[in-house]
Chains A and B, each alone.
Chain A
Amino acid sequence: MEHIPVELVDLLESLSFDALSQKQRQLVLNQMTEEEYRAHQKIILEATELDYAIPEVAPLIMPKPSQPFWKKPIPLWQAVSSVAAVLLLFFFLPRDSEAPVTISKTSPAIQFVHDTVVKQLPADTVFTVATRWIIDTVYIGSTLVQELPQRILEAPNNLYIPLKDAFSGISSVSLKEEKNRISIPEAIRVEL
């Protein structure tokens, strides 16, 4: 669309071509001829005088007032059937005691709690086990050395690998004896 100066419409609605100033006339003639300007004005004039036959307006049909849903009336059968449905659900749904026990999957948080329980074991039990382990280990080493020749006799087809001299020289040491207590860690000795 070509550009139309907005002043042109103002002039068309307010001034005849003869009443235009020289400057206004120039503006008009840049867009249209004098005859077109006059014809435009005739159309506008006639349009304002147009007479349309307007009939009587039909009466307004009143819209129903809008209500929130909880205020809207419902038929009786709907209300009764709703109550019946609730009662049926109440009587026929399985109770909590009959419901199967569901075991939920352990979450990482619960695993953390499990770790905490382990840490709550009595400290003296831990120390007792550690003490026995030390003593038993010492005795087992001693037993191996003592039983080795007998085992070789009982299984002659086995490959015999002689023990190193240092190993065979291990002898049992009883940690229960007073003179050996010095080799046990201080904390363990106190618990014993």
Chain B
Amino acid sequence: MHHLSNQSDEALMILIKDHQSHPALTELHRRYSRKLLGYFIKMLNRDEYLAQDFVQELFLKIWEKNQLFQEDKKLYTWLFTIASNMCKTHYRNCYRMVPEDMERPVFDRKVFQENITDKTQFQEALKLGIDSLEVSHKTVFILRYLEQFSLQEIAEITETPVGTVKSRLFYATRKMTENLKAFDPKYEEHLFKIS
């Protein structure tokens, strides 16, 4: 088990493919389950139980569909491709069962009017703003600004051109800016550069 921690992700996947190795899968789970759980929590409107189920289901998919992994690609990106597709399928099924406006959280500005300059309150408002985004916009926004993926990686994960990723990022940001207009920004001097 100890020697597996020195193996690359791709080497572990080969062990799973060729030898049905449980320890290799456990090692991958150890490396990425927490990161994936965080992604699912953000994508699934902070439903922790559903997110836990999704992590379990994702590793089952890796086990059963291991032949779909292409060895020339990064496993990390592939994991998030599966995760994003699972979320997309989940939302599609939800919208099929109930009207879209009932399922997706609606950002209510009135809730935050009293103390909108408080940072904690603002962050809560921002989370609700992310929850209320349309799923394709939410995916790129979370992958870029919350999970810190590069634009190229997001393009691979979402299987869309980089230009489309940028366009979706812009619309997602604009949507949330409209929702949070009441907020009086006070962090202007902390402008940053994302790697």
Contacts and interface: CB of A to CB of B under 8 A. Distances in A.
B167 A48 contact: no
A58 B148 CA distance: 24
Contact of B48 (A6, A38, A51, A55): A55
Interface residues of A, number: 38
A44 interface: yes
A68 to B, nearest CB: 12
A58 B193 CA distance: 35
Contacts of A44: 145, 173, 194
Contacts of B185: 38-39, 42
Contact of B177 (A39, A49, A55): A39
A39 B129 CA distance: 14
A86 interface: no
B48 A36 contact: no
A170 interface: no
Interface in A1-51: 1, 4, 6, 8-10, 12-16, 19, 36, 38-51
Most buried by A among B185, B191, B194: B191
Interface stretch (A59-67, A91-99, A118-126): A59-67
A57 interface: yes
B187 A42 contact: yes
A112 interface: no
Contact of B187 (A6, A19, A45, A58): A45
Nearest to B28: A60
Interface stretch (B56-64, B69-77, B89-97, B99-107): B56-64
A54 interface: yes
A77 interface: no
3 A-B pairs closest in CB distance: A47-B145, A9-B166, A16-B191
Given A52-B41, A54-B41, 14 more contacts: A8-B170, A16-B191, A19-B191, A38-B188, A41-B191, A43-B173, A45-B191, A50-B127, A52-B42, A52-B146, A57-B33, A58-B56, A62-B22, A66-B20
Interface of B: 20, 22, 25-26, 29, 33-34, 37-38, 41-42, 46, 48, 52, 55-56, 59-60, 63-64, 122-123, 126-127, 130, 141, 145-146, 148, 162-163, 166-167, 169-171, 173-174, 176-177, 180-181, 183, 185, 187-188, 190-194
13 contacts: A6-B166, A41-B191, A42-B187, A44-B173, A47-B130, A47-B141, A50-B127, A52-B42, A57-B33, A57-B52, A58-B56, A63-B59, A65-B20
Interface of A: 1, 4, 6, 8-10, 12-16, 19, 36, 38-52, 54-55, 57-58, 60-63, 65-66
